[in-house]
Amino acid sequence: MFVVLIAFSCWVVSAGTAAAHTALASSDPAEGTMEDTAPAVVTLTFTENISPEFANIAVSGSDGRNWVSGPAQVTGPLLRISLSPDLPDGADYTVGYRVVSADGHPVSGSFSFTVAPVSGASAPPPPTTAAPTTTTTSPTATPPTSSGPLGSDSKTSVLTAAAAGLLLGGAIVFWQSRRRRRNDPPHNEPS
């Protein structure tokens, strides 16, 4: 029983640190910017290293075409992708990404930028999104956008896991004590 409680305590403590998954820290081009010329590369910087095997990125125009040219390149927390050299000016582009953080949790999101029209053409309206949209497919936590205390979803998950562990521990203790009583011979006290 003591070993179960120690193992459970270690698990609860480690669950708090694992709940802080990677998040997008910055990008080039940045969210909502108007670029004077079409970028040749899009670079995403995350808050921790990401897995090169599971890094996916798409740069789509308003027509739905993916303008990515070549495979994604991952170096620690950086994800770089080359764009097609014929990326049209005067258009909005959406960067969508899905990566797996160093702790094994998938993280995805998207943001937009605009390439300015060539001189003499009318400018398109600016993108309507104001902040990066970051989501995660992890059932227990949403990645934080800044380093701070655990979010309420993470705290709820840890507390739920703690309650489940205590119930499991109690069930094991109850089962063991019943089993011991059945196996122990009856004690006869002299009168």
Assign 170 to helix, strand or coil: helix
| 29 prior amide bond cis, ω within 30 | yes
Task: Count the domains in the chain.
Answer: 1
The answer as to whether 94 is a domain residue is yes
**Domain-located, residue 132:** yes
Do the bridges between strand 106-115 and strand 34-35 make them parallel or antiparallel, or are there none, so unpaired? parallel
Is 145 within the bounds of a domain?
no
Q: Does residue 124 form part of some domain?
A: yes
* Contact yes or no for 99/46 (Cβ under 8 A): yes
Tell me how far apart the alpha carbons of residues 155 and 16 are, in angstroms, rounded to a whole number: 8
Map residue 158 onto helix, strand or coil.
Answer: helix
Answer whether residue 6 is part of any domain: no
Query: Does 35 fall in a domain?
Result: yes
Regarding beta strands 56-61 and 91-100, do their DSSP bridges make them parallel or antiparallel, or are they unpaired? antiparallel
pTM of the model: 0.54
Output the domain CATH number for residue 42: 2.60.40.1220
Where do runs of H (alpha helix) occur along the chain? 2-18, 152-183
Q: Which domain holds residue 84?
A: 21-136
Q: What is the pLDDT along the chain (191 residues), one digit of tens a residue?
A: 544 444 444 444 444 444 567 899 999 999 999 999 999 999 999 999 999 999 999 999 988 999 999 999 999 999 999 999 999 999 999 999 999 988 888 999 999 999 999 875 454 555 554 445 555 444 444 444 433 333 334 444 444 555 556 555 666 767 677 777 777 666 665 65
